[in-house]
A and B are shown apart, each in its own frame.
Chain A
């Protein structure tokens, strides 16, 4: 997967104005789950369309062209393992030279100082985890998602679902006074310098799901940091315990987009055709007419076939432990529905812009996903082991989504597909 930057309004010599844009990289490589897709929705809704979708190789090769790097949820250890020393080095250099790192949930744990391998490759941010313990507390509700091992210790999760935060810092004038967002394994945090804390966990709501006693959950989380802002070099780490990017929390989403607009000082976009900081890029194709219609129908066909199987899997009592993370069948459809919801847009536009490598990836991997899901269902129906197949499918879904969104945003930002300027 090449790193390609999709430059809004940088499509050709006819452009007459420049726009200031933030170039955002979303990590979707090894160790990530599905929650990076929530950032995709958020950025699309907020008009932040200059996006790159990165796997671990892209990060390892360097992040010079980005203003923002986003790492969302997943298996922190697997993310660290995938990125390795060179990925850690890239991230460190990126932030030092002025980049903005936004880490949500697993992405928040990743840069914290730790002696645990391979997290010790990162060690950028001196933040303590409050939900870390040598001895696991008693649970009030059985859950495979209650804890993960952390060396000889455990990271445990006192609550899941919605929690309310309260702003505690006046650095950012736009920080909402109170807002809610869901916690799905993210950290409670403490820092030595209270000025680094932007928001604390304030109170539980009627939607909060307790995995330990409410009293213990309060002790671990309430008044502890939920959002921290830690400078390093010329750049910043923003660490979110909860998923502020979750699509059902508009106030939290707005906070994220305001952070990006406030904190990034992006380069002005040049008038000349896009100067990509890319590696191994494949030729760009522009599809229109029958070819475009056929290609979109091909995607639609396989997404539909996959969705149909995926819905059936949701009726079955099965889940998979991939690495340290639990995956339910519902997560398959998060990927599929995310892409499916954009098919109508692709049907409506006249021209599709896609790199030929991505064209082949989308065609081939969408078929693999359908066939894999059908094999998976047969395996589950026959009471056979399905972990191997499930692991492959989630990997293919990541690969497919990255190629799809590269095409989608590149098409979206083409000048021919822009809405006419308002009078």
Chain B
């Protein structure tokens, strides 16, 4: 598998400390394409070892618009089913740049460990210095240890170490789309987290045409009016939910986007410093980044001020726990009460569709209607297909719901152009059916 790929699958056995590599065969890509098509295949291959599979979409890290995401595929401790959680922020692309397309993590470590994946090297490291630390402390510790301020991490906090059903894997410092309790899956393996960094290059067949075609598609995308908007509050309004805009405005500092994604799905909230001041922050931790629409909606409905909502999101990010679970299952309405309830949660959150894809992502189109009639069943079926396609190709899952210009047709076109493998609609239909089964 020469193009759009590192050509490598990493197999790590935490129990024996064995680290092996397999070649990513072109035949596998021809059959399962990439992303969740292959992570599901690898999960099934190693199912007896209760694996966690981390992977990239086929287009992740290229010039295709919004080709930002990776995925975690594992059995959800919360639902008992196989589920796929998108890897967002800049973490998804770093996986591929660090030298592997797919990482299979089997077994459980005898003592707390973390994985350090860098430039095609995979090290199982002793996590004694960070076990017991929160997500922020752990990420900062590793960044200082390796001397890299841009180290990307998937990390658990105390919730995962304690194997809470609501433990979330966090990306760098921030809450993630994990509604599946994958933090517990990490914790049961004595796996504190995975750190990624690399300076790998991705080879592309016919690179000039690939880039040129990517830019054409990007131009079509940019014709959308919604790109004049930004941030999480606009997303909430677009899906007909609570108006978060006025509520968040006093503490909104800025918006940012995942890799090469035209819409800024991430909002930075400053609770402890005036967000209007344009200078280097004087406060160590003035705020948070968030892309969790439903957690914010729940917090507003529960009567939280925006500042306290932000502070609670900060505490959930540090603790490594699903903020929506905290708000909805605790029934608490104050910052202190919610924080005190982290370890005492019970109950379950509603799933969407078959519960394969994260309910962090709205189960409907955003900004564009994609020609849907408004029927709920139709919307769910459409949503699951759209999430499946985004997961296969590595498209930012929120943006995939916004932009009909990112069509299955042009994803297949670019994938075929970039890999020189003939990937067609029939194959995609088959892989979608496979992952949605």
Residues of A within 8 A of B (CB): 297, 300-301, 304-305, 307-309, 311-312, 373-374, 377-378
**Which 8 pairs across A and B sit closest by C-beta, in order of nearness?**
A309-B147, A304-B119, A377-B147, A374-B147, A301-B121, A304-B118, A308-B148, A304-B121
Q: A301-B123, A304-B118, A305-B118 are in contact. Are A374 and B199 (CB under 8 A)?
A: no
Contacts of A378 in B (CB 8 A): 144, 147
Q: Is B145 positioned at the interface, with any CB of A under 8 Å from its CB?
A: yes
**Nearest Cβ distance between residue B201 and chain A, in whole angstroms?**
12
Judge whether B121 and A297 touch: CB under 8 Å.
yes
Which of the four size classes fits the interface of chain B? 10 to 19
Chain A residues with CB under 8 A of B148: 308-309, 311-312
19 A/B residue pairs, CB under 8 Å, sorted by A:
A297-B121, A300-B119, A300-B120, A300-B121, A301-B123, A304-B118, A304-B119, A304-B198, A305-B146, A307-B199, A308-B146, A308-B199, A309-B146, A311-B148, A374-B145, A374-B146, A374-B147, A378-B144, A378-B147
A-B contact count, CB below 8 Å? 38
CB neighbours (8 Å) of A309 from chain B are 146-148
Expressed in whole angstroms, the minimum distance between the Cβ of A311 and any Cβ of chain B is: 7
Q: Which of B121-157 contact A (CB under 8 A)?
A: 121, 123, 144-150
A residues in contact with B123, CB < 8 Å: 301
User: Which chain A residue lies CB-closest to B197?
Assistant: A308
Q: Which residue of B lies closest to A306 (CB)?
A: B147
Contacts of A373 in B (CB 8 A): 147
Closest chain A residue to B98 by CB distance?
A304
Chain A residue numbers with a CB within 8 Å of B198 are 304
A308 to B200, CA, bound (A): 12
Query: A373 to B146, alpha carbons, bound, how many Å?
Result: 9
Docked Cα-Cα span, A309 to B149, in Å, equals 9
Considering the chains assembled together, what is the distance between the CA atoms of A174 and B150 in angstroms?
50
Name the residue on A nearest B144 (C-beta). Answer: A378
Cα A355 to Cα B201 in complex, Å, equals 33
Q: Which residues of A contact B145 (CB under 8 A)?
A: 374
| CB of B16, distance to nearest CB on chain A (Å) | 16
Bound CA–CA A300/B121 (angstroms): 7
CB proximity of B300 to chain A, nearest CB, Å: 39
A307–B147 CB distance below 8 A = no
| Residues on A with beta carbons closer than 8 Å to the beta carbon of B121 | 297, 300-301, 304
- Min CB distance, A363 to chain B, in Å? 15
Residue of A nearest to B145 (CB): A374
Q: Given A301-B123, A378-B144, decide whether A308 and B149 contact each other with a Cβ distance below 8 A.
A: no
CA distance A297 to B147 in the complex (A): 21
| Chain A residues, Cβ within 8 Å of B146 | 305, 308-309, 374
**How many Å from the CB of A91 to the closest CB on chain B?**
40
Query: How many Å from the CB of A118 to the closest CB on chain B?
Result: 38
State A308–B149 Cα separation when bound (angstroms).
Answer: 10
Contact of A312 among B118, B119, B147 (CB under 8 A): B147
Q: How far is the CA of A35 from the CA of B147 in the complex (A)?
A: 26
Chain B 159-198 per-residue mask, 1 if CB under 8 angstroms from chain A, else 0:
0000000000000000000000000000000000000011
- Whether B118 and A308, one on each chain, are in contact in the complex, defined by CB atoms closer than 8 angstroms, is yes
Q: Which residues of B contact A (CB under 8 A)?
A: 118-121, 123, 144-150, 197-199
Complex: chain B residue closest to A381, CB-CB: B144
Contacts of B120 in A (CB 8 A): 300, 304
* A333: nearest chain-B partner, CB-CB: B199
Q: How far is the CB of A308 from chain B (nearest CB, A)?
A: 5
Set of chain B residues within 8 Å of A377, measured between Cβ atoms: 147
Give the chain A neighbours of B144 by CB distance below 8 A.
378
- Shortest CB-to-CB span from A392 to chain B, Å, is 16
Contacts of B197 in A (CB 8 A): 308
Q: Which residues of the partner chain B approach A312 to less than 8 Å between Cβ atoms?
A: 147-150
Q: How far is the CA of A311 from the CA of B123 in the complex (A)?
A: 20
Complex CA distance for A332 and B118, rounded to whole angstroms: 19
Residue of A nearest to B150 (CB): A312
Across-interface contacts of B150 in A (CB, < 8 A):
312
In the complex, chain B residues whose CB is within 8 Å of the CB of A307: 119, 199
Kindly provide the distance from the CB of B5 to the nearest chain A CB, expressed in whole angstroms. 16
* Complexed CA–CA distance, A311 and B147 (Å): 10
The docked-state distance in angstroms from the alpha carbon of A130 to that of B251 is 64
Is B199 a contact of A311 with CB atoms below 8 Å?
yes
Give the docked Cα–Cα distance between A305 and B199 (Å).
11
> Could you say which residues of chain B place their CB within 8 Å of the CB of A374?
145-147
Residue of B nearest to A337 (CB): B199
Query: What is the chain A residue whose CB lies nearest that of B151?
Result: A308
| A166 → B minimal CB distance (Å) | 37
Given contacts A304-B118, A309-B146, 15 further A-B contacts (CB under 8 A): A301-B121, A301-B123, A304-B119, A304-B120, A307-B199, A308-B118, A308-B119, A308-B148, A308-B197, A308-B199, A309-B148, A311-B148, A312-B148, A312-B150, A378-B147
| Chain A residues near B149 (CB-CB < 8 A) | 312
CB-defined contacts of A301 to chain B, threshold 8 Å: 121, 123
Residues of A within 8 A of B119 (CB): 300, 304, 307-308
Bound complex: CA of A307 vs CA of B150, how far in Å? 13
Q: How far is the CB of B114 from chain A (nearest CB, A)?
A: 15
The distance in angstroms between the C-alpha atoms of A301 and B198, with both chains bound, is 12
Give the residue name and chain of the B residue nearest to A298 (CB). Answer: B121
What distance in Å separates the Cβ of A366 from its nearest Cβ neighbour in chain B? 13
Give A176 to B147 CA distance when docked, in angstroms: 46
Q: A110–B305 Cα gap in the complex (Å)?
A: 73
Residue in B119, B146, B147, B198 with the greatest tally of chain A CB atoms within 10 Å? B147
Cα A312 to Cα B145 with chains together (Å) = 13
- Shortest C-beta distance, B199 to chain A (Å), equals 7
Q: Which residue of chain A has its CB nearest to the CB of B199?
A: A307
Q: How far is the CB of A1 from chain B (nearest CB, A)?
A: 28
Contacts of A305 in B (CB 8 A): 118, 146
Contacts of A311 in B (CB 8 A): 148, 199
Name the distance in Å between B90's Cβ and chain A's nearest Cβ: 15
Q: Closest CB of chain A to B144's CB: distance in Å? A: 7
- Expressed in whole angstroms, the Cα–Cα distance for A304 and B121 within the complex equals 8
Docked complex Cα distance between A373 and B120 (Å): 20
Task: Tell me, in angstroms, the Cα distance from A300 to B148 when the chains sit together.
Answer: 18
Shortest Cβ distance from residue A315 to the other chain B in the assembled complex, whole angstroms: 8
CA distance A312 to B120 in the complex (A): 19
Alpha-carbon gap, A263 to B118, bound state (A): 46
Can you name the residue of chain A whose Cβ is closest to the Cβ of B146?
A: A308
Question: In whole angstroms, how far apart are the Cα atoms of A311 and B144 in the complex?
Answer: 14
Q: Report chain A residues within 8 Å CB of B199.
A: 307-308, 311
Residue of B nearest to A301 (CB): B121
Instruction: For A371, give the chain B residue with the smallest CB separation.
Output: B147
CB distance from B267 to the nearest CB of A (A): 26
Q: A373 vs B149: C-alpha distance in the bound complex, in angstroms? A: 14
Q: In the docked arrangement, what's the CA distance between A111 and B123, Å?
A: 49
A373–B145 CA distance with the chains assembled, in angstroms: 11
Docked complex Cα distance between A374 and B145 (Å):
7
How distant is the Cα of A308 from the Cα of B147 in the complex, in angstroms? Answer: 7
Cα separation A374 to B119 with both chains bound (whole Å): 17
Complex Cα distance A174/B118, Å? 46
Query: Closest residue of chain A to B118, judged by CB?
Result: A304
Residue of A nearest to B149 (CB): A312
In the complex, how many angstroms separate the beta carbon of A202 from the nearest chain B beta carbon? Answer: 36
State A377–B151 Cα separation when bound (angstroms): 14
CB nearest neighbor in A for B143: A312
Which residue of chain A has its CB nearest to the CB of B123? A301
- Chain B: minimal CB distance from A349 (Å): 17
CA A378 to CA B148, docked complex, whole Å? 10
- Closest Cβ of chain B to A367, distance in Å, is 13
